[in-house]
Structure 1
Amino acid sequence: MFKFVKGYMETIDGVATYPMISLLIFFVFFTLLFWWVLTASKSYIKEVSELPLEEDDNQQLD
């Protein structure tokens, strides 16, 4: 199976660019995520972190 995949992939022109594009997308995504985490306001983080602990008055228990 692996020989088939390896042989098939070698026939595709420019196949080496796909891993580089994937690495670039991965790097850009996590760089932006890291930047957002560092620049997010502390009040927003606190508000969002307390959401699961708040009671919902509109929800009725059966």
Structure 2
Amino acid sequence: MLKFVKGNLENIDGVEIYPIISLLIFFIFFTALFWWVFTAKKKHIEEVSNIPLTDDASTIKDL
């Protein structure tokens, strides 16, 4: 099956850019996620982490 895929990809002009684009998307996404984790307000994280423990439906509306 790999020969079938590789054979078809060899016929596409500019196919070598796709792995680079994939790596950039992966890197940008996880860099943004890493930045969000360290800059997120601790109070918000605490509220969201306590949602499963609360029985009050109004807590969900407040978020």
The question of a shared fold, defined as TM-score above 0.5 by the shorter chain, is answered with: yes
Report the residue type matching 1:27 in the other structure. F
1:28 maps to which residue? 28
Which deviations, in whole Å up to 9, do the C-alpha atoms of 1:21-59 show, x marking residues without a partner? 01000000000000000000110010000000001368x
Runs of 4+ deviating beyond 2 Å: none
Structure in which a larger fraction of residues adopt helix: 2
Partner of 2:46: 46
Amino acid of the residue matched to residue 28 of structure 1?
I
Distance in 2 (CA, whole Å) between partners of 1:2 and 1:57 is: 52
Separation in 2, partners of 1:27, 1:48:
26
Residue segments in structure 2 that go unaligned for 5+ positions in a row: 59-63
Q: Tell me the distance in 1 between the aligned counterparts of 2:33 and 2:8.
A: 36
Q: What is the root-mean-square deviation in Å for CA atoms of aligned residues?
A: 1.5
User: How high is the TM-score relative to the length of structure 2?
Assistant: 0.83
User: Unaligned 5+ residue runs, structure 1?
Assistant: none
Partner Cα distance (2:57, 2:5) in 1:
57
Matched with 1:10 is 10
For the residue of structure 2 that corresponds to 1:55, the secondary structure is coil
